[in-house]
Amino acid sequence: MLPHEQSSNAYLDKWLTCRYFFVRKVLLIKYSYAFVIMPGGIGTMDEFFEALTLIQNKKIDHFPVVIVGKEYSAPLESLMAEMAANGMISSEDLQLLTYTDSVDEALAHIEEHAIKKFRLGYGRRPRR
C-alpha cells in the first residue's frame, strides 16, 4: 500500500494489494516469465534492477526484459552501456535487454525468449 497510486490499472481483471513491498516484489518475480518495464520512477527502477540482479546471479532464469519508451529510457541505456564499458557488468548482461517503442517488437521478443523457451501456451482463460 503506497501513499498514492492506490487505484488499480483499468486494464486489469485481477489484482492484489500487498501490505509489504517485499511481498509485492516476491510475487512479481515468482509468477513471471518476462518483464516489461514502462516509464516510471524509483519503484520501477527498483523492480527493474531487482529482476536484473536475480537474472545476473542465476537465481532466476534468463527472462526477457523489454523496456518500453526509447526516448524516456535513453539515459538508462547509456548508463547500462557505461557500466559494461567499465567492467561493472558483463556485456552479456546488455543482451538481456530490449529497448523498443513497438508493441509488436516487444511481443515478438517475449514470444522468442519466454513463450518458446519455457514452452508456455495460450490456454483457456479462467472463468470469472
Beta strands 35-37 and 97-100 are: unpaired
Instruction: List the domain range (segments joined by +) for residue 96.
Output: 21-115
What percentage of the chain exceeds 90 in pLDDT?
43
pLDDT tens for 83-112 read 999 999 988 888 889 999 999 999 888 888
CATH no. for residue 95? 3.40.50.450
Report how far residue 16's alpha carbon sits from residue 37's, in angstroms, rounded to the nearest whole number: 19
pLDDT digits (tens, 9 = 90+) for 21-80: 889 889 888 888 889 999 999 989 999 999 999 988 888 887 889 999 999 999 999 999
Residue 60: inside a domain: yes
**Gap between the Cα atoms of 82 and 65, Å rounded:** 19
Cell of 96: 538481456
Give Cα 71 to chain centroid, integer Å: 18
- pTM attached to this predicted model: 0.80
φ and ψ of 65, to 5 deg: -120, 115
With respect to residue 69, please indicate whether it lies within any of the assigned structural domains.
Answer: yes
Q: Return d(Cα 13, Cα 89) in angstroms, integer.
A: 38
Tens of pLDDT, residues 45-56:
999 999 999 988
